[in-house]
Amino acid sequence: MILELDCGNSFIKWRVISVDGAQRLFAGVVDSDAALFESLAAAPELRVSRCRLVSVRSDAETEQLVTRLRESLGVDAICAQSASQVGGVRNGYEDFRRLGLDRWLAVLGAYHLGQRACLVVDLGTAVTADFISADGMHQGGFICPGLPLMRDQLSTHTRRIRYDRQVALAALQELEPGRSTAEAVERGCVLMLRGFVAEQLLQAQARFPEGFEVFLTGGDAGLVQDVVPGAQVVPDLVFVGLAIACPLN
Ligand SMILES: Nc1ncnc2c1ncn2[C@@H]1O[C@H](COP(=O)(O)OP(=O)(O)O)[C@@H](O)[C@H]1O
Ligand SMILES: CC(C)(COP(=O)(O)O)[C@@H](O)C(=O)NCCC(=O)O
Ligand SMILES: [K+]
């Protein structure tokens, strides 16, 4: 079994696939290393022989996780590294090492699945958009705060924006103008995300007149899905790229 990990700024997405990659055996989302090892311990008949991961966390945090994986599962995790080119895809950053590794893998995954020009939007702690031309050139992208950062900034920097999490979830049942603080903030922030995605779509239309594929991923992809009716929502997009960047044979 192969253990795959996508360590974002807020959550670790993990999954266990069969060695031939054909089956997804276990999967989960956890908010800490400790919770990851609890989940793995609870997976019945787990036999991990290989492990690969991508992390946008600090080197120290990533090394700590790799050490713990070695101690508890006996596997040496392979970590995705920056590259100026993988297969037919070229990194468009001035310094390719600066492009977030999750973005790079999502770009690799999208181009592999789409086989033509692509727009990739990843909605997590931050929201990122990346453009790839039909011939595999990553053209750069945009970064803005994601939903959790937007709402946290509002509550941190105001005196009277306060509401609890349960109310927040209920507020997102619809997007009419809010009649409470929770509704006004939650819906306002979701509209920011949707507006951002709509703008990326316009940019892609101008950039790729011959046509393009749109990929949405990240924990909040569902909130913007209907802004781009033809979009493919691929929660595992980073893992698709991880398999390309870190082949195990
Ligand atoms: N089951 C879930 N677990 C965690 N976050 C979720 C879930 N479903 C939706 N979300 C949303 O996804 C966001 C995190 O997305 P994610 O792509 O995991 O972020 P990151 O890669 O930055 O850690 C959360 O802030 C939350 O709004
Ligand atoms: C932009 C990000 C913070 C997104 O992280 P995430 O929301 O997935 O946790 C991450 O890709 C990152 O740290 N990038 C480095 C900066 C850059 O891509 O230019
Ligand atoms: K992201």
Answer yes or no: are the C-beta atoms of 235 and 245 closer than 8 Å: no
63 within a domain of the structure (yes/no):
yes
Shared domain for 199 and 120, answered yes or no, is: yes
Which residue's CA lies nearest to atom 12 of ligand 2? 100
Average confidence (pLDDT) over 19-29: 96
- Tell me: pLDDT of 52 over 80: yes
How far apart (Å, rounded) are the C-alpha atoms in residues 39 and 179? 40
Ligand 2 binding pocket, CB closer than 6 Å: 8-9, 56, 98-100, 102-103, 122, 124-126, 128, 143, 146
177 within a domain of the structure (yes/no):
no
**Domain tally, the chain:** 2
Shared domain for 97 and 192, answered yes or no, is: yes
Shared domain for 75 and 194, answered yes or no, is: no
Which residues constitute the domain of residue 64?
2-79
- Tell me: pLDDT of 249 over 80: no
The reported pLDDT for the residue numbered 134 is: 98
Residue in 114, 35, 109 with CA at minimum distance from that of residue 101: 109
Shared domain for 95 and 36, answered yes or no, is: no
Which ligand is nearest to the Cα of residue 56, counting in written order? 2
Shared domain for 92 and 135, answered yes or no, is: yes
Confidence at 191, pLDDT banded by 50, 70, 90 = very high
Shared domain for 134 and 226, answered yes or no, is: yes
9 within a domain of the structure (yes/no):
yes
The reported pLDDT for the residue numbered 104 is: 99
Is 6 annotated to bind a ligand? Reply is yes
Q: Which of 36, 64, 79 is the last residue of a domain?
A: 79
The reported pLDDT for the residue numbered 54 is: 98
Per-chain mean pLDDT for the chain: 97
Residue showing tokens 């600066």? 98
The reported pLDDT for the residue numbered 112 is: 98
Let me know if 129 is exposed, middle or buried by CB neighbors in 10 A (0-12, 13-18, 19+): buried
Average confidence (pLDDT) over 113-132: 98
Shared domain for 202 and 135, answered yes or no, is: yes
Q: Which of 79, 99, 122 is the last residue of a domain?
A: 79
Q: What is the dihedral of CA 190, 191, 194, 200, to 10 degrees?
A: -120
Answer yes or no: are the C-beta atoms of 26 and 46 closer than 8 Å: yes
- Residue with the bigger pLDDT between 183 and 87: it is 183
Q: Which of 22, 49, 79 is the last residue of a domain?
A: 79
How far apart (Å, rounded) are the C-alpha atoms in residues 93 and 124? 21
Shared domain for 123 and 69, answered yes or no, is: no
Task: Kindly state the percentage of the chain with pLDDT values over 90.
Answer: 99
Answer yes or no: are the C-beta atoms of 21 and 2 closer than 8 Å: yes
How far apart (Å, rounded) are the C-alpha atoms in residues 51 and 75? 7
Shared domain for 125 and 206, answered yes or no, is: yes
Proportion of the chain in helix, strand, coil states, percent, rounded to 5: 40, 25, 35
Is 67 annotated to bind a ligand? Reply is no
Which ligand is nearest to the Cα of residue 10, counting in written order? 1
22 within a domain of the structure (yes/no):
yes
Task: Kindly state the percentage of the chain with pLDDT values over 70.
Answer: 100
Shared domain for 8 and 123, answered yes or no, is: no
Average confidence (pLDDT) over 90-115: 98
Q: What is the ipTM of this complex?
A: 0.96
113 within a domain of the structure (yes/no):
yes
96 within a domain of the structure (yes/no):
yes
Shared domain for 199 and 236, answered yes or no, is: yes
16 within a domain of the structure (yes/no):
yes
State the distance from the centre of ligand 3 to the C-alpha of 26, rounded, in angstroms.
23
DSSP strand pairing (85-86 vs 24-30): unpaired
pTM, two decimals, is 0.97
125 within a domain of the structure (yes/no):
yes
For the stretch 2-13, pLDDT in tens is: 999 999 999 999
- CATH number of the CATH domain containing 226: 3.30.420.40
Say which of 102, 130, 220, 236 is annotated catalytic: 102
Task: State yes or no: is 102 an active-site residue.
Answer: yes
Shared domain for 64 and 104, answered yes or no, is: no
Confidence at 61, pLDDT banded by 50, 70, 90 = very high
State the distance from the centre of ligand 1 to the C-alpha of 30, rounded, in angstroms.
10
- Tell me: pLDDT of 89 over 90: yes
